[in-house]
Amino acid sequence: MTIHTKPVVAIHRHAVQEATSAVLRRFTTMVRETDDIGRMAAGTDWTVAETAAHVSVVLAGFSAAIAGEMLALTPEPYPDADFPTRLAAVNASTIEMVDHTDGTRLAEVITAAAQRFLQLAVAADPHTECDTPWYGPGRTRSVDCLTALALGELTVHGHDIATGTGRAWPISAADANLIVGTVCPAMSPLVVRPEAGRGAPVTYEVRLRGNGPRYVIEVADGNAEVRAPGGPVDCVISADPVTFLLVVYGRLPSSQAFQRGAMTATGRRPWLGLRYKHLFFNP
């Protein structure tokens, strides 16, 4: 494992850890109280049970990454596949690793997995890069990034289950900022589409409202580079944090977000705002 350089956006690791614990309690309560876990969750092709099983496997995988344990989460036929193909294969093969026939038992498994993950994350050097082969050969993520990703998994999949079962799932701007501020700068270079920016590089500045995170991302020839704000950009995106979170994770069309005014685009090429999400796969 190696040591990562300073992140582009300031990381509030204790706040992320506390938020993860709080969302965990809400998530497991909802799973436990779902009468029919065979119902479909929104935003995915999974049932409530399958979604919960996926979350438990993700948390176990993140724990294994921090602890340096071997965990078979990467199907051998997909070593060179693109990001979404590889991740879909991992997800499909690992959901069956968890017995997801009982909601109460699922909630217990998720709680245990999350508690172990948080214990490991608190004890580890937050900058340490951990092996995460399911993201691609040789790929690593920092402990801080894995913690923000864990919060994102619980938050977004909680949204999926709640929407699919007709329940409320409020997401605070604070939680959205904690997720987006780390996940987007860290994961965008991995999830950029191979055709993005081919022959026409584009540069965005993302500004989350309410004094939230800000960063610049340049996309060219299927690569993305993230840096701190400063210098000229083609398009400035101003966004409500929760809306931007749902757009980035593919739960809300960016066109709707712009129509509602929850996202706006300015700068010398504002029309590029509508293209932003189409440059990236879901993280």
Return the pLDDT at 4: 43
Question: What pTM was estimated for this model as a whole?
Answer: 0.94
| 126-180 confidence digits (pLDDT tens) | 889 999 988 888 889 999 999 999 999 999 999 999 999 999 999 999 999 999 9
Q: What is the set of domains in the chain, with CATH numbers?
A: 13-170 (1.20.120.450), 191-279 (3.30.1050.10)
Those residues whose C-beta lies under 8 Å from the C-beta of residue 96, and which sit 6 or more positions away, are: none
What is d(CA 216, CA 87) in angstroms, rounded to the nearest whole number? Answer: 26
Cross-strand bridge partners of residue 129: 142
Sign of CA dihedral 223, 240, 262, 41: positive
**∠ CA(220), CA(221), CA(227), 5° rounding?**
30
| 39-98 confidence digits (pLDDT tens) | 999 989 999 999 999 999 999 999 999 999 876 555 555 566 778 887 888 888 788 888
| 178-206 confidence digits (pLDDT tens) | 999 999 999 999 999 999 999 899 999 99
In this structure, are residues 207 and 273 in contact, taking their beta carbons and an 8 Å threshold? no
26-31: long-range pairs with CB below 8 Å, 24+ = 26/158, 26/169, 27/55, 27/110, 27/154, 27/157, 27/158, 27/161, 28/107, 28/108, 28/110, 28/111, 29/107, 30/158, 30/161, 30/162, 30/165, 30/167, 30/169, 31/103, 31/106, 31/107, 31/110, 31/161
In this structure, are residues 23 and 174 in contact, taking their beta carbons and an 8 Å threshold? no
| 221-275 confidence digits (pLDDT tens) | 999 999 999 999 999 999 999 999 999 999 999 999 999 999 999 999 999 999 9
| 117-138 confidence digits (pLDDT tens) | 999 999 999 889 999 988 888 8
Helix 143-164 to helix 103-123 angle (10° resolution) is 160
pLDDT(108) > 50: yes
pLDDT(5) > 50: no
**Quick one: average pLDDT of 26-50?**
97
